[in-house]
Amino acid sequence: MNSAHRAIIRKHLEQKIAELLERTKSRQTAVENCADDNEYASRISEQKINLALQVRESQLITEMEETLARVDHWDFGICQNCGEEIGLARIKAKPTTHFCVSCQSRMEDEEQFGRVG
C-alpha cells in the first residue's frame, strides 16, 4: 500500500467520523411531553432505538479513530492472521478490517460450524 492509498483512506475515515459525530449529536434521545399514553409509548420505543444506534455509532467512531491512528504504521493493510497484504478494495470497503477476505471468510465459517456442532 502506497502513501496515496493511505491518504485516501485517512480522508475517508475522517469524513466518516465527522458524519457519525454529527448524526450522534443530532439524534433525539429525550422523551418530552406527550399528549397521551400511546404517544408516550411510541416515543419510549423511539428513544430505545436511538440510544441503541448511538451506542453502535460510538463504538464505530472508536474503531475508526483507532484505525486512523494506525494508517501510517507499516503493518496497516497486512492481515493479522496470515501476514499477507489485504486487498485495497477490501480496505476501501471496510478500512477497520484486520483480516484479508480469505482469513475472514475462514474464521466466519469456523464460527458458524462451531455453533452447529
Low-confidence ranges of the chain (pLDDT < 50): 117
The chain-wide mean pLDDT, for the chain, equals 88
What pTM was estimated for this model as a whole? 0.74
For the chain, report the end-to-end CA distance as a whole number of angstroms. Answer: 40
Q: What is the pLDDT of residue 47?
A: 86
Model confidence pLDDT, tens digit, residues 23-44: 888 877 677 777 788 888 888 8
